[in-house]
Chains A and B, each alone.
Chain A
Amino acid sequence: MYLTKEEEHIYEGKSGESLRRAMEILVALGDIYEAKRLIPIRSVQVAGVSFKNIGDAGLEWISDLKGRVTVPSILNPAGMDLQHWKDMGIDEEFALKQKKVIDAFERMGVSADCTCTPYQIYSGLAEKNDHLAWSESSAVSYANSVIGARTNREGGPSALAAAIIGKTPNYGYHLDENRKPTHQIVVDAELNGSDFGALGFLVGKIVKDGVPLFHLRNRLNHDELKALGAAMAASGSVALYYVEAVTYSPPTCAKPVEKITIDKKEIDEVYELGSRADADIVALGCPHCSIAELKGIAEMLSGKKVRKDLWVCTARKIAETCPHLVKKIEESGAKVICDTCMVVSPASQRYKKMMTNSGKALVYLPSLCKVEAGLGSTEECIQCATEA
């Protein structure tokens, strides 16, 4: 990989050890993925935050780190609500270690916003054609597909190295040649809300790490795009997709040969994967709820009381923006949970079966949390939580 004089100096250690190691990570990855040079990035989202995922080994590394980030940087979701972790049933030891992880990132200048939806809380982190180094798979998909920015899916150390240097190696989704669609997906039916999570659940399995181009009847809103991308990044490793007449267009007009049709029946079958009758918890907000979603949930819960635990996961900044909605939701007995979600928190493991409106959670709850999962629309989820 070509390095400028200044980058070469850093690589040789003339600007100190922290910068040298950060540069060495970028160069090593650049060599592995055959990047020709480093490119400046606008923002970073750092992975490896939940103590449940990184464990003592990750905490040890993060605690020893020195250096400062040079571009705006925020965090992936943590393993608990950083303020109300006791209400989630998180134990003291986990909480202490999780806080140490967050403190270490803050010392380096990373903002302690823990969310999978950075684009919902800050508008200045990413715009069309910006290069980024983001980590969380659904955020990466949203940035590439809906915002039209360019990012690979970074790991913890590579994201932090990019944040310290302010650059990333130019490979993968930063390059036009890797942003061409690989499959066409046709759905000839009207879809709604959680149907897009179910669709993503199916398509991710089919296209794996491909780039699907959708032909849909609907004009999806931002929350539906968020749900579709998140599910495909979980059941497959889709980091970029297109929806005809909705998202930005692909860099080439040539359409991929492989054409797949998904019918309504297949989508309906995703809802039947888990029976919904015996769920002992309901969780919404994977990815984190937008203000519009909180508003919808608050309206559906109006005048009702929950009969089983209901979690509504969102970013702390969003909850702080609309305290009236949080209050309305919590009046029903539901909990608005910030900084974390059902997938990355160990709190989920206390339950046997979780009902959710998220295609992404439907993938990860059984595999990462050992909790059975069932999919329903937001209305069905609220019904499940409020009816005996």
Chain B
Amino acid sequence: MLEIKCHRVASGYATGQSLATDEPISFLGNIDPETGIIIDPEHELYEKCVSGRVLIFPGGKGSTVGSYIIYQLKKRGKAPLAMINLHSEPIVAVGAIISGIPLVDRVPESLLKLIDGTKITVDADRMSILIYQN
């Protein structure tokens, strides 16, 4: 097991399987708020589903309406369990907070290359990430 230090953006604790990308995500436009599936064919995670995953990405981009899309995903049970950014920007930070999704940032870039489905724990309040290696 590997522990990585991080910085709390939105409070909370979650354990689940990872889904990582080194491309920023625009929640308005890139993701279907009803299903949590990435619908932008240009995106590395095209046709993958963020629901119930620990979503690892560099940060958000695009419209500030993206914060509300994160909220819609959460209400429909389609949101990520937790999110990890290199540097959170206001869209994803605000989206995570208003939705009650744990979010941490300031992690090593190598985390963006984590193999999909790796078991991972985000403990925002303790500013800690645990990676369980098989």
* Chain A residues engaging chain B, CB cutoff 8 angstroms: 20-21, 24-25, 28-29, 31-32, 48, 53-58, 60-61, 155-158
Known contacts A31-B7, A32-B90; is-contact A21 B64 (Cβ 8 Å): no
B55 within 8 Å of A by Cβ?
no
The listed residue with most A CB atoms (<10 A of its CB), out of B7, B68, B75, is: B68
B131 within 8 Å of A by Cβ?
no
- Chain A minimum-CB-distance residue to B68: A57
Question: How many CB-defined contacts (below 8 Å) exist between A and B?
Answer: 63
Interface-located stretch among B14-22, B45-53, B91-99, B107-115: B91-99
Q: Say whether B75 contacts A32, CB under 8 Å.
A: no
How many angstroms from the CA of A28 to the CA of B7 in the assembled complex? 10
How many angstroms from the CA of A24 to the CA of B11 in the assembled complex? 8
CB A65 to nearest CB in B, in angstroms, measures: 9
Majority SS at the chain A contact face:
helix
B33 within 8 Å of A by Cβ?
yes
Q: Say whether B9 contacts A28, CB under 8 Å.
A: yes
Residues of A within 8 A of B9 (CB): 28, 31
Residues of B within 8 A of A31 (CB): 7, 9
CB B45 to nearest CB in A, in angstroms, measures: 20
Q: Say whether B65 contacts A57, CB under 8 Å.
A: yes
Identify which of residues 68-117 in chain B touch chain A, using a CB-to-CB cut-off of 8 Å. 68-69, 71-72, 75, 87-90, 93-94, 97-98, 100
Contact with A along B1-18 (1 / 0, CB 8 A): 000000101110000000
* Chain B residues engaging chain A, CB cutoff 8 angstroms: 7, 9-11, 33, 64-65, 67-69, 71-72, 75, 87-90, 93-94, 97-98, 100
Residues of B within 8 A of A57 (CB): 33, 65, 68-69, 71-72
How many angstroms from the CA of A217 to the CA of B33 in the assembled complex? 53
Q: Say whether B97 contacts A28, CB under 8 Å.
A: yes
Contact sample, A vs B, 29 pairs, CB 8 Å cutoff: A20-B11, A21-B97, A21-B100, A24-B10, A24-B11, A24-B97, A25-B93, A28-B93, A29-B90, A29-B93, A32-B88, A32-B90, A48-B64, A53-B65, A55-B65, A55-B68, A57-B71, A57-B72, A60-B68, A60-B71, A60-B75, A61-B68, A61-B71, A61-B98, A155-B64, A155-B90, A155-B94, A157-B94, A157-B98
